[in-house]
Amino acid sequence: MIKKTLLIIFGIALFHSCEETEKSNQATVYYNGDIITMVGDSPNYVEAIVEQEGKIVFTGSSIEAMKVAGKGHNMIDLKGKTLVPGFIDGHCHFANFGAQAIGAQLLASPDANVDDMETLISVLKEWNTSKNRALTGWIYGTGFDDSILKEKRFPTKHDLDKVSTEFPIMITHISGHFAVVNSKGLEKLGIDENSKNPEGGIIRRENNSTEPNGVLEELAAIPYMLQAIAPQSEEAIIKFFEAGQEMALSYGYTTAQEGRAMQNQEMLVAMAEMDKYKIDVISYIDYMFVDKHMTSKWNSKNYINKFRIGGMKVTLDGSPQGRTAWRTEPYLIPPEGMPHDYSGYPAIPNDSVLSSIFEKGFKNNWQILTHTNGDAAVDQLIRTMKPLKEKYGNEGRRDVIIHGQYIREDQLDQAKDMNMIASLFPLHTFYWGDWHTQLIGDSLVQNISPVKTALNKGIDVTIHTDAPVALPNLMRVLWTAVERTSRSGKIIGTDERITPYEALQAITIWSAYQHYEEDKKGTLENGKLADLVILDENPLKVEPENIKDIQVLKTIKEGKIVFEK
């Protein structure tokens, strides 16, 4: 009797176990929409795909999909919407997404409305609450743009002192290469008339004096920015992280990049240890921090809790719209207080120092991402890295030029010879195309972010947001790469326009390749991860001018819905 009872119990348990296994192994069929596989050099559509256990197990006809999915499968009716592979930004700063999501929003139109100094001050005053200040200890905001502000100048400590003289304030430029602090902020940072400019940075001064005016450039700003905008408690760290990740999900990211990890690497690791990631994040460690982080378990081709280190980041100059990008020719409009022959400046002036930094990357077989905006910076990259590629070999390396706003055609030829990937930034054509025209002239401006020329030369290309420089809106990136229309409606570089399909490749399969992940991501093919995005319109079928208005309806990571509009 006991034996019979045990058999019955065991049988019931086995039944439930099989039932649970069947449920957990259920397949999902996506059908009845524009399903773009991104396989090949021209658009390829299928009627349906089947996802099971986080991977794609079938693409093809709806009838065959039902057979492959088997008994009890789920059905997702796309209702005519568009399904594409999950988006992979060629370059962004994921660790700072939270600061953008939570801080005072200082972006100009159309992303926000800070188009003059009065509005900037008003937005900061509104954000200034004890609850907000408690997050970082600062009043802070992100994304102001002096080229758009009606006053056509940087805010100074005098403007920010109108918000508060009691609490420290820091605001960051849309380029991410400048900060402005109020008088209390200068005091907290220990910057005064006796402070010297650091190498690769400038503390701007009051006219005809050594008194700081609150504006900090490049390496006089960036280390302080990371400190001031860092959340101060575990609760605040999690809040920032989750807000930034949610913003990424809302724009269709299934893989994001931290393109210059410094002190914020600890936060990224902590979130991985806590298993907080819903999407994959790849971190590139700033060269000044590689000794601390590159020997860790996170430096791997494999993700641990959806996080890993991908390689090393080196920054050679600054921002073209901020006029700190290093050029071989002078800017037509130098910054205030600079001579007429001002052409920007290098972040690492000594070539031998830079060569030793690069050599460390080659010796350790680290992928190297190099920020170069001005053509003088690209020249420095080529003359220091090319001998190392010859010395150590270049097979299998996928080193990346980041931005390349003012890269010349002869430099693209060199990049091709060096087997470099170019992650270019056509978003500039909209946000700063009119400003670039004033800075470098109407002829040269046609060649900024020369995506089509790079493709024609056979260079592997991606495009990116550089968020939080702008919002991490990849549909706007697609639109700018296709249309290249400035704020005033002027076309910036007609010959550099690419097709909507090429633009979509640049944030899916081409970006997967850049990150050594083309075998797992970037296309809808059997065996790849079911990283998917559902869009309300097909970017290959709408009028190009409407691509920027396409909305992400769902973001799906390895078969799980992680965002739904």
- Per-residue confidence (pLDDT) for residue 200, from 0 to 100: 87
| pLDDT value at 309 more than 60 | yes
Q: Which of 30-39, 124-133, 231-240 has the lowest mean pLDDT?
A: 231-240
In whole angstroms, how far apart are CA 252 and each of 247, 384, 553?
9, 37, 9
pLDDT of 262 above 60: yes
User: Percent of the chain having pLDDT more than 90?
Assistant: 88
Q: Where does the pLDDT of residue 208 fall: very low under 50, low under 70, confident under 90, or very high at 90 and above?
A: confident
Question: What is the C-alpha separation between 516 and 365, in angstroms, rounded?
Answer: 13
Is residue 465 predicted with pLDDT exceeding 60? yes
- Mean pLDDT value across residues 362-371: 98
**Mean pLDDT (whole number) for 140-164:** 94
pLDDT at 3: 43
* Residue 371, helix vs strand vs coil: strand
What is the structure's pLDDT at 23? 53
* Residue in 20, 45, 21 with CA at minimum distance from that of residue 34: 45
Is 15 a residue whose pLDDT tops 80? no
Q: Is the pLDDT of residue 10 over 50?
A: no
Average pLDDT, stretch 101-129? 94
Contacts for 379 with CB less than 8 Å, ≥ 6 apart: 328, 411
Residue 95 pLDDT exceeds 50: yes
**Helix (H, G, I), strand (E, B), or coil: what is residue 309?**
strand
- Higher-confidence residue of 224 and 86: namely 86
> To which H or E segment does residue 556 belong?
strand 552-557
Q: What is the pLDDT of residue 168?
A: 96
Question: Which one has a higher pLDDT value, 3 or 385?
Answer: 385
pLDDT for position 226: 76
User: To the nearest whole percent, how much of the chain has pLDDT over 70?
Assistant: 96
Mean pLDDT (whole number) for 543-549 = 97
Which domains are seen in the chain, by residue range? 2-80 (2.30.40.10), 94-228 (3.10.310.70), 272-529 (3.20.20.140)
Whole-number pLDDT of residue 19: 46
Across the range 376-384, mean pLDDT stands at 98
At 228 the pLDDT is: 78
CB burial class (10 A; 0-12, 13-18, 19+) of residue 359? middle
Which helix or strand (DSSP H or E) is residue 462 part of? strand 461-463
As a whole number of angstroms, the distance between CA 421 and CA 132 comes to 41
Query: Mean pLDDT, to the nearest integer, of 414-429?
Result: 97
Q: Residue 229: is its pLDDT beyond 50?
A: yes
Does residue 206 have a pLDDT over 70? Answer: yes
Contact 422, 480 (CB under 8 A): no
Predicted confidence at residue 24, as pLDDT, reads 53
Confidence at residue 184, expressed as pLDDT on a 0 to 100 scale: 96
E-only strand ranges, 294-385: 307-315, 367-372
pLDDT, mean of residues 266-276: 97
Residue 38, pLDDT score: 98
Q: Residues 201-223: what's their mean pLDDT?
A: 92
Query: What average pLDDT does the segment 228-232 reach?
Result: 83
Q: What is the pTM of this model?
A: 0.89
468 burial class (0-12, 13-18, 19+ CB within 10 angstroms)?
buried
Q: How far apart are CA 534 and CA 541, in angstroms?
A: 15
CA distance 521 to 302: 13
Residue 308 has pLDDT above 50, yes or no: yes
Top-confidence residue, 292 or 13: 292
pLDDT value of position 248:
98
pLDDT for residue 174: 86
Q: Comparing C-alpha atoms, which of 406, 425, 386, 385 is closest to residue 326? A: 406
Q: Model confidence at 176, in pLDDT bands (50, 70, 90)? A: confident
